[in-house]
């Protein structure tokens, strides 16, 4: 039996405020075309169909259109809810959809009841759908002995193995699950699921089945030959740059053997993470290949340049993220703060502070003069408590967003 394993569509999600709806439609077109071209017997979607519990109308329409196209081709589709999905909303109409060959599995209590797929070459294949399990919500339902992710997923798999044991010998078993398996590599775009105990579960929890189609982690990866993540069909963060997006085409032999082929998905636009000074990013010929990429630029200038985003957009029209990481000289001064300030005047400390918070721009002469006059005024007020403190006049050259303001707030900053 030939299975197409995918997951984590996150329909409706954007990329740094850039809509991905067209790219997601292109992926679904690619999926349907793959089903036809590669003679797929069943599609497995391991959770996170939507990006939000209450998805946008555009995302719902896209999902509905994809289901109709798969049903028209008489290709069974088994789906589970992920931690981004609302199980109840996603599961509406599940019993009716079953008749069309679309099997939505969102109820944790029904995880031991499989979808049976007939296979003339090797008998039935039992496909068990285990939706995302939030320990605090499903522990009692599953009769788990503990409140961890391992405990509840283990209890769900016990139900799977019990049902499989009652079926004819030679029945092949496939499990869909949405979880974080120990040893797998995560990325920045997955939602944390540590609430409810340690998030990861051992791969041994899936012992006893022929293939485990996993969702949740966004990087396609092989945990064992029988336990795999398909990853997302599109990149949803720059941490996924360099990770080809794909699906698994899995052939399940009559004897239970597994072979898998990685099928790459269409890329709407490549990702590039560039780093350097603003001048380097604007002039280095090596960056020319990234002019059509979604770009994350990390600026290493010691001082923040003027209007960097607008200047970068002229070379990289699709820049979507700007990070500041100024390069500073490494120091190995392990002395205590008190020791480092010893024998330094208040004025020197204030001037050093200006240079610290404004890298590359030490206090200008007129700013040093203003700080000196402010400190003198404070000392006079401390000596003669009833003497009002006059705010020093701010030099015109120092009236910038980075300079301390005049008046009480400026006096406090000077202190």
CATH of the domain at 233: 3.60.21.10
Range of the domain at 209: 2-264
Interaxial angle between packed helices 135-142 and 149-165, expressed in degrees from 0 to 180 and rounded to the nearest 10: 30
Q: What is the pLDDT of residue 415?
A: 42
pLDDT cut 90: percent of the chain above it: 70
Residues 160 and 189 in one domain: yes
Is there a domain that residue 210 lies in? yes
Residues 173 and 114 in one domain: yes
Is there a domain that residue 332 lies in? no
By three-state DSSP, how is residue 333 classified? Answer: coil
Q: What is the pLDDT of residue 196?
A: 39
Q: What is the pLDDT of residue 407?
A: 44
What tens digit of pLDDT does each residue of 22-37 get? Answer: 999 999 999 999 999 9
Residues 33 and 122 in one domain: yes
Task: Give the pLDDT band (50/70/90) at residue 389.
Answer: low
Q: Which is more confidently placed, 319 or 389? A: 319
Residues 107 and 235 in one domain: yes
- Per-residue burial over 261-296, b = 16 or more CB atoms within 10 Å of its CB, e = otherwise: eebebeebbebbbbebbbeebeeeeebeebeebbbb
- Domain boundary, last residue among 222, 242, 264: 264
Q: Which is more confidently placed, 406 or 120? A: 120
pTM of the model: 0.78
Number of domains forming the structure of the chain: 3
Residues 223 and 91 in one domain: yes
By three-state DSSP, how is residue 385 classified? Answer: coil
* Spatial contact of 278 and 303, defined as CB atoms under 8 Å apart: no
Is there a domain that residue 333 lies in? no
Question: In the predicted model, is pLDDT for residue 61 greater than 90?
Answer: yes
Q: Rounded CA gap, 357 and 375, in Å?
A: 19
- Which stretch of 47-61, 146-160, 372-386 has the lowest confidence by average pLDDT? 372-386
Is there a domain that residue 34 lies in? yes
Highest-pLDDT range among 119-123, 233-237, 378-382: 233-237
Please name the residues in contact with 349: beta carbons below 8 A apart, sequence gap of 6 or more.
Answer: 341
Q: Which two three-digit tokens encode residue 246?
A: 């794909």
Question: In the predicted model, is pLDDT for residue 149 greater than 70?
Answer: yes
Q: Which two three-digit tokens encode residue 148?
A: 């961890």
Is there a domain that residue 329 lies in? no
Residues 37 and 54 in one domain: yes
- Which stretch of 160-169, 226-235, 327-336, 350-359 has the lowest confidence by average pLDDT? 327-336
Residues 186 and 250 in one domain: yes
Is there a domain that residue 331 lies in? no
- Which stretch of 69-73, 222-226, 396-400 has the lowest confidence by average pLDDT? 396-400
CA proximity to 15, closest of 46, 51, 48: 51
Read off the pLDDT of each residue in 357-371 and give the average, rounded to a whole number.
78
Residues 21 and 113 in one domain: yes
Interaxial angle between packed helices 57-72 and 21-37, expressed in degrees from 0 to 180 and rounded to the nearest 10: 10
Residues 59 and 115 in one domain: yes
Q: Which is more confidently placed, 49 or 390? A: 49
Is there a domain that residue 330 lies in? no
Is there a domain that residue 278 lies in? yes
What tens digit of pLDDT does each residue of 87-138 get? Answer: 999 999 999 999 999 999 999 999 999 999 999 887 899 999 999 999 999 9
Name the strand (E) or helix (H) holding 246: strand 246-252
- Domain boundary, last residue among 214, 245, 264: 264
- Which stretch of 95-104, 286-295, 313-322, 340-349 has the lowest confidence by average pLDDT? 340-349
Q: How far is CA 348 from CA 353, 372, 383, 395, in A?
A: 9, 9, 21, 19
Residues 183 and 65 in one domain: yes
* Mean pLDDT estimate for the chain: 87
- Domain boundary, last residue among 264, 289, 309: 264
* Spatial contact of 85 and 53, defined as CB atoms under 8 Å apart: yes
DSSP letter at 223? E
Q: Rounded CA gap, 375 and 381, in Å?
A: 10
Residues 255 and 379 in one domain: no
Question: In the predicted model, is pLDDT for residue 388 greater than 90?
Answer: no
What tens digit of pLDDT does each residue of 253-309 get? Answer: 999 999 999 999 999 999 999 999 999 999 999 999 999 999 999 999 988 899 999
Residues 88 and 224 in one domain: yes
Q: What is the pLDDT of residue 276?
A: 96
Question: In the predicted model, is pLDDT for residue 360 greater than 80?
Answer: no
């Amino acid at each position: 039996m030939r299975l197409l394993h995918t997951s984590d569509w996150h329909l409706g999600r954007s990329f740094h405020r850039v809509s991905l709806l067209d790219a997601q439609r292109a992926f679904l077109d690619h999926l349907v075309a793959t089903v036809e071209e590669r003679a797929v017997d069943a599609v497995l979607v391991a959770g996170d169909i939507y990006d939000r519990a209450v998805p946008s109308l555009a995302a719902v329409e896209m999902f509905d259109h994809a289901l109709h196209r798969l049903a028209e081709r008489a290709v069974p589709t088994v789906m589970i809810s992920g931690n981004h999905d609302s199980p109840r909303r996603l599961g509406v109409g599940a019993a009716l959809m079953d008749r069309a060959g679309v099997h939505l599995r969102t109820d944790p209590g029904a995880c031991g009841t499989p979808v049976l797929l007939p296979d003339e070459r090797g008998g039935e294949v039992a496909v068990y759908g285990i939706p995302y399990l939030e320990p605090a919500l499903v522990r009692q339902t599953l009769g788990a002995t503990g409140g961890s992710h391992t405990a509840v997923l283990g209890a769900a798999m016990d139900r799977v193995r019990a049902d499989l044991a009652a079926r004819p010998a030679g029945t092949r078993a496939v499990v869909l699950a949405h979880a974080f398996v120990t040893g797998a590599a995560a990325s920045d775009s997955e939602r944390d699921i540590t609430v409810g105990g340690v998030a990861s579960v051992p791969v041994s929890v899936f012992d006893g089945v022929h293939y485990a189609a996993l969702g949740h982690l966004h990087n396609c990866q092989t945990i064992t030959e029988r336990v795999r993540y398909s990853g997302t069909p599109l990149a949803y963060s720059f941490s996924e740059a360099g990770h080809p997006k794909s699906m698994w085409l899995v052939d399940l032999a009559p004897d239970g053997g597994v072979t898998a082929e990685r099928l790459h998905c269409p890329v709407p636009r490549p990702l590039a993470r560039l780093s350097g000074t603003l001048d380097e990013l604007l002039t280095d010929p090596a960056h020319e290949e990234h002019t059509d990429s979604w770009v994350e630029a990390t600026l290493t200038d010691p001082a923040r340049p003027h209007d960097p985003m607008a200047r970068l957009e002229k070379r990289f029209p699709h820049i979507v993220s700007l990070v500041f990481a100024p390069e500073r000289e490494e120091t190995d001064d392990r002395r205590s703060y008190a020791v480092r300030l010893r024998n330094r005047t208040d004025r020197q400390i204030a001037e050093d502070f200006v240079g610290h918070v404004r890298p590359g721009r030490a206090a200008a002469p007129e700013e040093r003069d203003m700080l000196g006059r402010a400190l003198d005024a404070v000392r006079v007020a401390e000596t003669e408590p009833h003497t009002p403190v006059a705010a020093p006049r701010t030099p015109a050259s120092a009236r910038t967003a980075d300079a301390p303001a005049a008046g009480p707030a400026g006096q406090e900053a000077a202190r």
